[in-house]
Amino acid sequence: GAVVSQHPSRVICKSGTSVKIECRSLDFQATTMFWYRQFPKQSLMLMATSNEGSKATYEQGVEKDKFLINHASLTLSTLTVTSAHPEDSSFYICSARDPGQPIYEQYFGPGTRLTVT
């Protein structure tokens, strides 16, 4: 089946620094990727939809200047958490849609656990 990778799987950073998370589709070209955040014991919350070659669409309440998304190629989307704070500590998961598959098919990356100290 389709594979999506994320890097890094775990990152610890100091408050005020920026962190970049990569999401790659390994065996298909993803025109659309999604970024989710999951706090402990809560559901995945969609942060933004990343479209290749255009600006990302952010969900209400998600600061686009804080969470920078770049989808410059059909196989790579990046999420940069700028000026990270402890409250940004969370599990960040990306997913990708294969345009050759039904619209509802999403393939999830393994997630990135961010800890801001």
Partner 1 sequence: RKEVEQDPGPFNVPEGATVAFNCTYSNSASQSFFWYRQDCRKEPKLLMSVYSSGNEDGRFTAQLNRASQYISLLIRDSKLSDSATYLCVVNIITGGFKTIFGAGTRLFVKA
Q: Which is nearer to partner 1, 67 or 107 (CB)?
A: 107
> Tokens standing for 72?
């410059």
CB-based contacts of 73: which residues, under 8 Å, 6+ apart? 52
Q: Is 80 in the site for partner 1 (CB under 8 A)?
A: no
Tokens at residue 92, please?
Answer: 């960040």
Q: What angle do CA 81, 26, 36 make, to 5 degrees?
A: 35
Residue from 2, 46, 68, 74 binding partner 1 (CB under 8 A): 46
Q: Give yes or no for residue 81 binding partner 1 (CB under 8 A).
A: no
Please count the residues of the chain. Answer: 117
| Using rule CB under 8 A, residue 49 touches partner 1 | yes
Contacts with partner 1, residue ranges (CB under 8 A): 32, 34, 36, 41-46, 49, 57, 91, 93, 95, 97, 103-104, 106, 108-111, 113
